[in-house]
Amino acid sequence: MVTHDTACKYYKGVITMTSWKRGRENEEVGEQQMQSDDLGEKIEGAGRKIAGEVEQGLDNVGDTLSGKQRDLSGDMRNATDDADRWMERTGQEVRDSTDALHDKARDQSDRVTEWASERGEDLDRATDRAGDWIQERGEDIKRAGETH
User: Could you tell me how far CA 6 lies from the centroid of its own chain?
Assistant: 40
The pLDDT > 70 percentage for the chain reads 71
Determine the straight-line distance between the first and last CA of the chain, rounded to whole angstroms.
Answer: 142
Pick the range with the lowest mean pLDDT from 71-80, 84-93, 111-120: 71-80
Mean of the per-residue pLDDT values of the chain:
76
Pick the range with the lowest mean pLDDT from 1-15, 42-56, 93-107: 1-15
What's the CA dihedral at 20, 25, 27, 29 to 10 degrees? -170
Q: What is the pLDDT of residue 36?
A: 87
How many Å is the Cα radius of gyration of the chain?
46
Q: What is the pLDDT of residue 32?
A: 92
Residue 137 has pLDDT above 60, yes or no: yes
Sign of CA dihedral 30, 36, 41, 42: positive
27 Cβ contact partners less than 8 Å away, ≥ 6 residues apart:
48, 49, 52, 53, 56
The pLDDT > 90 percentage for the chain reads 5
Residue 11 has pLDDT above 80, yes or no: no
The DSSP-derived string for 75-104 is SSTTHHHHHHHHHHHHHHHHHHHHHHHHHH
* H or E segment to which residue 10 belongs: strand 7-10
43 Cβ contact partners less than 8 Å away, ≥ 6 residues apart:
none
Residue 147 has pLDDT above 60, yes or no: yes
Q: How confident is the model at residue 56 (pLDDT cuts 50, 70, 90)?
A: confident
Q: How many helices (H) and strands (E) does the chain have?
A: 4, 2
Does the pTM exceed 0.95? Answer: no
The DSSP-derived string for 35-68 is TSS-HHHHHHHHHHHHHHHHHHHHHHHHHHHHTH
Residue 103 has pLDDT above 50, yes or no: yes
pLDDT, greater one: 28 or 46? 28
Mean per-residue pLDDT for 80-109?
A: 84
